[in-house]
Amino acid sequence: MVSKINKKILLAVTGGIAAYKSAELVRLLRKENTEVRVVMTRAAQQFVTPLTFQALSGHPVATELLDVSQENAMGHINLARWADMLVVAPASADIIAKFSHGIADDLLTTLYLASECPVYIAPAMNQAMWNKVVTQENLKRLEQHGINIIGPEAGDQACGERGYGRMTEPVDICAQLITNKPTSLLQGKSVLISAGPTREPLDPVRYITNRSSGKMGYALADAAIAEGATVTLVSGPVSLVPHSEVSLVKVETAVQMYDEVLQRSGFHDVYIGTAAVADYSPGEIKQKKIKKHAEQTSITLYKNKDILGAVASSTPRPFTVGFAAETDDLERYARGKLERKKLDMIAANWVGKDVGGFEDDKNALQVFWRNGQQTFELMDKNELAKKLIALIAERMDEKSTT
């Protein structure tokens, strides 16, 4: 039985090593009963041949603005009219600059100007090019013009560098296109969460810890998964079981948590520090059980490194969200931490009052960012997690570049 074609997609491939991934995108899109026609820029053809895309799409590939044979087959205006959506993947810094300024000096840029359908672009470029102010300005302009931007992701790059600029995986691009808008608020995004308490050992049988249950962090992990994110949870000792799709990293001490978080944070889009990290640890862990002799004793504690602050100051950095538990002067202390630790957002809650918190199933939060705030009244932590994830998804584009 021949299935009905439900979308006509014009896929434009521009120059970049990620061009090879777009071959897979064509295959995935066709599996979704779409008809795909491909346009390639000259630079794209340096990476993959038009023949590859012709074979995968089942149609000749358009490469030239004024090509007699291709104009006969389907001229650029007709091609623009034919499409239900124009998808540019990978979208180079060059094409982003041209689109944002209305330059039309080849087939693709002309098609873009002639198109009236929704346009999606999946940027892919070196991290320094991505971070350049002019590239970000161009993207902002395109967003204001109604262009949908998919990705990019952070990670290792073909050039050997690390950072933002990797094209979103074809399977995630396909999911967004088929449902016509990000189905889920964090589709294609990666979220790193720290949760629970840490345990700072004194000797083989004793440790210093706190009352954190980990519930908020685990609820946030569930909520992020539900919104399509991939989630890594670095968790201190708790009695909770994470969602089956969560990648769990178990730790005990603040030092272990620091190491596990910092080696991953550069590869994630969002970091949420819900963990109640011990601020201090004993300098020395006794090999043998400490015996009671003296009437009084004392332990010297040493300050731990601040995980949240280190994540927020690293490069590349994710959208960084901290937590603060306060007994008084909540806004002043929370905003102080936001500034001092250079966070993008901080979620603060009262402790020591009858308002939920550490071991409770409920919590209330006041969330602050540089120019705003939002209050979430006392509610179940799962509900609260959904609201906070939605707020993070909304605000993460505001990630400061400092």
Stretch that binds ligand CTP, among 223-231, 285-293, 320-328, 354-362 (CB under 6 A): 320-328
CA gap 6, 251 in Å, rounded: 48
Out of 200, 227, 306, 344, the only residue in the binding site for ligand CTP (CB under 6 A) is 306
Q: How distant is the alpha carbon of residue 401 from its chain centre? A: 15
Cβ of residue 369: shortest distance to ligand CTP, in angstroms?
14
304 in contact with ligand CTP (CB under 6 A): yes
Out of 170, 316, 322, 356, the only residue in the binding site for ligand CTP (CB under 6 A) is 322
3-state SS, residue 166: strand
Nearer Cβ to ligand CTP, position 36 or 272? 272
CA gap 381, 219 in Å, rounded: 7
Q: Return the exposure string of 262-277: e unless at least 16 CB atoms fall within 10 Å of the residue's CB, then b.
A: eebbbbbbbbbbbbbb
Binders of ligand CTP among 336-375, rule CB under 6 A? 337
Nearer Cβ to ligand CTP, position 170 or 322? 322
Give me 105's structure tokens: 């000096």
Stretch that binds ligand CTP, among 106-114, 218-226, 272-280, 283-291 (CB under 6 A): 272-280
Nearer Cβ to ligand CTP, position 161 or 339? 339
Nearer Cβ to ligand CTP, position 14 or 194? 194
Nearer Cβ to ligand CTP, position 111 or 334? 334
Residue 276 backbone zone (phi > 0: left; psi -120 to 50: alpha; other: beta)? beta
Which residue reads 């590939």 in tokens?
61
Give me 153's structure tokens: 């992701």
CA gap 47, 21 in Å, rounded: 11
Q: Residues binding ligand CTP: what is the number (CB under 6 A)? A: 15
Count other C-beta atoms under 10 Å from residue 178's C-beta: 17
Out of 229, 308, 391, 396, the only residue in the binding site for ligand CTP (CB under 6 A) is 308
Cβ of residue 305: shortest distance to ligand CTP, in angstroms?
6
Give start and end residues of each alpha helix (H) in 243-370.
Answer: 254-265, 307-312, 330-340
Name the pairing type of β-strands 7-13 and 34-40.
parallel
Give the closest residue to 148 by CA, choosing from 202, 67, 91, 217: 91
312 in contact with ligand CTP (CB under 6 A): no
Cβ of residue 62: shortest distance to ligand CTP, in angstroms?
51
Cβ of residue 175: shortest distance to ligand CTP, in angstroms?
31
Cβ of residue 394: shortest distance to ligand CTP, in angstroms?
20
CA gap 338, 138 in Å, rounded: 29
Nearer Cβ to ligand CTP, position 129 or 262? 262
Cβ of residue 258: shortest distance to ligand CTP, in angstroms?
7
Q: CB of 213 within 8 A of CB of 361?
A: no
DSSP H or E segment with residue 300: none
Out of 147, 275, 365, 385, the only residue in the binding site for ligand CTP (CB under 6 A) is 275
Stretch that binds ligand CTP, among 49-57, 180-188, 229-237, 302-310 (CB under 6 A): 302-310
Give start and end residues of each alpha helix (H) in 204-362.
Answer: 215-226, 254-265, 307-312, 330-340
Out of 245, 279, 339, 361, the only residue in the binding site for ligand CTP (CB under 6 A) is 279
| Catalytic residue positions, numbered | 159
3-state SS, residue 242: coil
Stretch that binds ligand CTP, among 181-189, 240-248, 319-327, 384-392 (CB under 6 A): 319-327
CA gap 275, 277 in Å, rounded: 5
How is residue 381 annotated by DSSP? H
Binders of ligand CTP among 40-79, rule CB under 6 A? none
Give me 169's structure tokens: 């995986």
Binders of ligand CTP among 175-234, rule CB under 6 A? 194
CA gap 248, 235 in Å, rounded: 7
* 321 DSSP β-pair partners: 272, 345
273 in contact with ligand CTP (CB under 6 A): yes
Binding site for ligand CTP (CB under 6 A): 194, 254, 273, 275, 277, 279, 304, 306-308, 322-325, 337
